[in-house]
Structure 1
Amino acid sequence: MEYEYSIEIDRGVEDVFAYMQDIEREAEWQPNLREAVQRPPGEPAVGTERRYVSEFLGKTFRNVYVFTGYEPNRRVAYESTPESDTRASGMITWESLNGGTRVTMRVSVQPGGLLRFVPRSLIASVGERELAHALARVKANLENPT
């Protein structure tokens, strides 16, 4: 199951990329994220791991993602490791757009574990809605900081 969402943000690519890749701020725009840890700490690169604890459809999931591609201010690709509760891969791209930025997130999920018993249409609907909501939060947080 795959889904994609794009949004235009009235901030430069460098600002948007830095905000979205700051592990300490990721929960600000990922509403169901409960915990996020990066190994090793510091500047991410290909091979960097990010460990997440999140909620989806009322259940807690623990997932580990490894960066398989990392081009600052352009592209991040990732995939889950075998120890993850969910098999997933994805890519985020940042594109300069007249002083602003277009962010596109593409996600591919293979439901397993507890999600095997949930209708795929429900998973897709909720996943697409959460993806759109997350990028809308990035936009709101960067364009209208409090």
Structure 2
Amino acid sequence: MTAVSESIEIDRPVSEVFAYLDDPHNHATITPGITDIRNVEPLDNGGKRLEHTYEMAGVGIDGELVEQIHEENERMRFEMRGRLTGEIDLRFEDLDGRTRVTYSAEYDIPGRVLSAAAEPVVKRYNRRQLRKTLDNLKRELESED
């Protein structure tokens, strides 16, 4: 299991940031590698279930995300199912009209077992992807001025 986590502060109220990320189609806008979001279904807990395609090394990988925790303006936690398995956890903190978003992911890489030497390279790649996602989120929300 590989884990990465990053945070960013956004000059928007927590309710706006949460609402933006509560729309699964917005994830395709900000997340490098997501090429398709489809079959979005509401869940009884207020969250969503959806299918997606994530492109890794030029190969599309289909999967499913199921929101296990949906706490309005505080937290979203998704279970990743399919060839990519793991969890994505988004936490929101109100900073007097600004928002801190912490994005954590734990996942297993599909395919052969990674050697101990390869895992740090994959972790750096995924940390960069996560950082790019948060930077894109900030740009999208702050450019709405």
Alignment TM class, shorter chain as reference: 0.7 to 0.9
Shift of 1:57: 2.6
Change (3 A) 1:122 1:60: farther
Hey, what does 2:53 align to over in structure 1?
A: 53
Residues 31 and 134, structure 1, Cα contact 8 Å, conserved in 2? yes
What percentage of residue pairs aligned between the two structures are identical? 25
TM, length-normalised to structure 2:
0.87
Moved over 3 A (4+): 41-44
Aligned residues of 1:23 and 1:38 also touching (Cα < 8 A): no
CA distance in 1, matches of 2:70, 2:129: 24
Partner residue, 2:13: 12
Between structures 1 and 2, the one with greater strand share? 2
- Structure 2 unaligned residues grouped into runs of 5+: none
Q: TM-score, normalised by structure 1?
A: 0.86
- 1:110 to partner: Cα distance: 1.4
Q: Distance in 2 between matches of 1:44 and 1:68?
A: 8
**Residue segments in structure 1 that go unaligned for 5+ positions in a row:** none
Partner of 2:103: 105
Amino acid at match of 2:80: S
1:50–1:64 contact (8 Å) kept in structure 2: yes
Provide the residue aligned with 1:89 in structure 2: 87
- SS of equivalent to 2:24: coil
